[in-house]
Amino acid sequence: MSRVIVAEAEALLDQEIPVLDKGFVRLVDYMGGDARIVQSARVSYGAGTKTVRQDRGLIHYLMKNWHTSPFEQVQLTFHTKMPVFVARQWVRHRTARLNEISGRYSVMKDEFYVPSPENIRPQSTNNKQGRSEERYTPEAEQEIIQMFEDEQRTIYGNYEKLLEKNLARELARNNLPLSLYTEWYWQIDLHNLFHFLRLRMDAHAQYEIRVYAEAMAQCAKAVAPLAYEAFEEHILGSVQFSRAECEALSAMLAGQPHALEGKPLEAFQAKLDKLQAATPAETPEEPQLIS
């Protein structure tokens, strides 16, 4: 079987997609594409690629019915550069193979993440792990940015002084902060990449990792456009209801009250809001500024 070549993916190879202030995502290599998915799915009865329409129908069927193994036949290898705190969230996805730059062998670069003003927000009052929709005043935002930059400059200066004393690099790096940029090669199959994207492209994911997921989604779409279309249709743009939520839906359709309340009701309402997201919304109010 010859290697699957996808023109859109070939055009994207080794092209840096800028992310955040100093990071990037780069598609280094890929193996397979939509053709490999359908070849794998049809191997049991000896039929390969047919028409695009038939292939699209098969890929949608596989995605809709959770037949995941054909999507595992496609692999993507990325070279990415991101802040350490993003990498620590990222590495929780244990279904990939990675190799990260090591501060034991290399002198770490003077590169730190500094949020842009619009991404500097207070702690959310209803989300323990997220930021508020409110904004600081422009003066307060610039003050916070200056604090980030001053501390990063001081810490890296001390790192350089330790290196000048010939302290072992594995010790000199000890105080470098989470905002430091790191790099790695990350290889993953398409099925598990879709799982990563489903979680990290969600509106509840932290902004700084969400933008990396969006860049990687561009690469996945280039490598396997039909599979990505099916992913958007059946996973990314869908809503899954629990048994209790299905019962609540049935009650609502029948014009009857349902039993959901508290946190379960909030989660149910959020899913209903997602269903209505295609409806044009009113122009949002300007975010409140706080000092």
Question: Is residue 49's pLDDT more than 70?
Answer: no
* Among 11-20, 51-60, 102-111, the least confident range: 51-60
Domain-embedded: residue 28: yes
Q: Which residue has the tokens 């508290």?
A: 262
Question: Is residue 44's pLDDT more than 70?
Answer: no
Q: What is the mean pLDDT of residues 123-134?
A: 88
Claim to verify: residue 224 and residue 183 sit in the same structural domain: yes
Structure confidence at residue 217 (pLDDT): 98
Please identify which of the residues 36, 135, 200, 210 carries the catalytic annotation.
200
Greatest C-alpha distance within the chain: 76
Claim to verify: residue 143 and residue 82 sit in the same structural domain: no
The boundaries of the domain holding residue 192 are 7-113+179-236
Number of domains in the chain: 3
| HSE, side-chain direction, 13 A CA sphere, residue 291 | 0
DSSP string across 102-160: -TTTSPPPS-B----GGG--PBPSS-TTSB-S-EE-HHHHHHHHHHHHHHHHHHHHHHH
Domain-embedded: residue 20: yes
> What distance in Å separates the CA atoms of residue 208 and residue 185, rounded to the nearest whole number?
19
Claim to verify: residue 44 and residue 92 sit in the same structural domain: yes
In this structure, what are the phi and psi dihedrals at residue 183, rounded to the nearest 5 degrees? -140, 150
Domain-embedded: residue 285: no
Chain segment 66-116, per-residue pLDDT in tens: 999 999 999 999 999 999 999 999 999 989 999 999 999 999 999 999 999
Structure confidence at residue 280 (pLDDT): 52
Claim to verify: residue 108 and residue 166 sit in the same structural domain: no
Claim to verify: residue 90 and residue 214 sit in the same structural domain: yes
Claim to verify: residue 77 and residue 199 sit in the same structural domain: yes
Claim to verify: residue 16 and residue 62 sit in the same structural domain: yes
Claim to verify: residue 253 and residue 126 sit in the same structural domain: no
Domain-embedded: residue 150: yes
Pick from 218, 236, 254: which residue ends a domain?
Answer: 236
Q: What is the mean pLDDT of residues 226-244?
A: 93
Domain-embedded: residue 281: no
Q: What is the CATH number of the domain that holds 189?
A: 3.30.1360.170
Structure confidence at residue 59 (pLDDT): 95
Question: When comparing pLDDT for 54 and 201, which is higher?
Answer: 201
Which structure tokens are listed for 91? Answer: 């590495």
Question: Which residues neighbour 101 within 8 Å (Cβ) at sequence distance 6 or greater?
Answer: 108, 182, 183, 184
Task: Give the SS3 label for residue 75.
Answer: strand
Question: Is residue 45's pLDDT more than 90?
Answer: no
* Share in percent of the chain as helix, strand, coil (round to 5): 50, 15, 35
Question: Which residues neighbour 188 within 8 Å (Cβ) at sequence distance 6 or greater?
Answer: 75, 76, 78, 93, 95, 96, 97, 196
Chain segment 93-104, per-residue pLDDT in tens: 989 999 999 999
Claim to verify: residue 80 and residue 199 sit in the same structural domain: yes
Query: Confidence class of residue 58 from pLDDT cuts 50, 70 and 90?
Result: very high
Mean pLDDT of the chain: 91
Claim to verify: residue 146 and residue 189 sit in the same structural domain: no
Domain-embedded: residue 186: yes
Domain-embedded: residue 283: no
Chain segment 148-166, per-residue pLDDT in tens: 999 999 999 999 999 999 9
Claim to verify: residue 253 and residue 136 sit in the same structural domain: no
Pick from 133, 152, 177: which residue ends a domain?
Answer: 177
Task: Give catalytic status of residue 200 as yes or no.
Answer: yes
Domain-embedded: residue 189: yes
Claim to verify: residue 151 and residue 226 sit in the same structural domain: no
